[in-house]
């Protein structure tokens, strides 16, 4: 599913983020940046040890912020590592921190003149953020960013599994209908 925002495309795909040919892929990392499970583990496995070396040198990343490394052996030239919030009950700043993780990643992409970015569904695995609430924040934050910034031409959400894809699709469709 696709939506056009200014001159950019926001699209949803089901699949594995490590296989994407966008200029950058985003990693749902943890504050140590030293690797973990889920999408983080998959990116380091596919990209090789170079990425971890750069992460060690960077030395960590606070929740809601982002850092950039090269893509190692990945097709993507860069990996943007961002840290989403651990979900408790939604009243501990989780929505703002999740939006900030997306915004910080897009800001870094803009600074590096990156034109295409793939995102996973940040915080919805081990960090326990409810998928629908996370999708709402993810899609709204990216749409608002693209409305205010030219430069990035493609943002692709790469959803892991049919369930995640369907939730994002439903939320994006509702956003599009509200926009009319
Ligand atoms: P977090 O700690 O931010 O919750 P996880 O990696 O545990 O990060 O999960 C984030 C999301 O990424 C989950 O929805 C999970 O299903 C998804 N995911 C896991 N592996 C991949 C992959 N290879 N490509 C895309 N998404 C993935």
| Ligand 1 atom with minimal separation from the 42 CA | 23
Using a 6 Å cutoff on CB, does residue 141 contact ligand 1?
Answer: no
Question: How many whole angstroms from 174 Cα to the centroid of ligand 1?
Answer: 24
Looking at beta carbons, which pairs linking 109-113 to residues 24 or more positions away fall under 8 Å?
109/24, 109/80, 109/152, 110/149, 110/151, 110/152, 112/24, 112/68, 112/78, 113/151
> How far is residue 95's CA from residue 1's CA, in Å, rounded to a whole number?
25
Give the position, in ligand 1's atom list, of the atom nearest the Cα of 40.
Answer: 6
What does the block give as tokens for 1? 């599913």
- CA-proximal residue: ligand 1, atom 3 (nearest): 123
- pTM attached to this predicted model: 0.98
What's the 127 CA to ligand 1 centre distance in angstroms? 9
Sign of dihedral through CA atoms 112, 116, 118, 119?
positive
- Reported confidence tier of residue 180, pLDDT bands at 50, 70, 90: low
Enzyme catalytic residues: 40
Ligand 1 within 6 A of 94 CB? no
CATH number (3.30.450.20, 3.40.50.2300, 3.30.413.10, 3.40.220.10) of 2-118+137-162 reads: 3.40.220.10
Q: Where are the domains of the chain?
A: 2-118+137-162
Query: What tens digit of pLDDT does each residue of 45-93 get?
Result: 999 999 999 999 999 999 999 999 999 999 999 999 999 999 999 999 9
Q: What pLDDT, on a 0 to 100 scale, did the predictor assign at position 8?
A: 97
């Amino acid at each position: 599913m696709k939506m056009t925002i200014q001159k950019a495309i926001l699209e949803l795909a089901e699949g594995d983020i490590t296989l994407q040919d966008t200029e950058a892929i985003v990693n749902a990392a943890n504050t140590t940046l030293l690797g973990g499970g889920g999408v983080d583990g998959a990116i380091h496995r596919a990209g090789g040890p170079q990425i971890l070396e750069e992460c060690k040198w960077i030395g960590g990343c606070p929740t809601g912020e982002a850092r950039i490394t090269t893509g190692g052996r990945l097709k993507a030239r860069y990996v943007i590592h961002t840290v989403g919030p651990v979900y408790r009950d939604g009243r501990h700043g989780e929505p703002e921190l999740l939006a900030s993780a997306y915004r910080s990643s897009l800001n870094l992409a803009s600074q590096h003149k990156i034109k295409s970015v793939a995102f996973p569904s940040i915080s919805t695995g081990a960090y326990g953020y409810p998928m629908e609430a996370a999708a709402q924040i993810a899609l709204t934050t990216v749409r608002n960013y693209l409305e205010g910034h030219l430069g990035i031409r493609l943002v692709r959400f790469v959803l892991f599994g049919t369930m995640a894809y369907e939730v994002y699709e439903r939320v994006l469709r509702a956003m599009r209908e509200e926009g009319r």
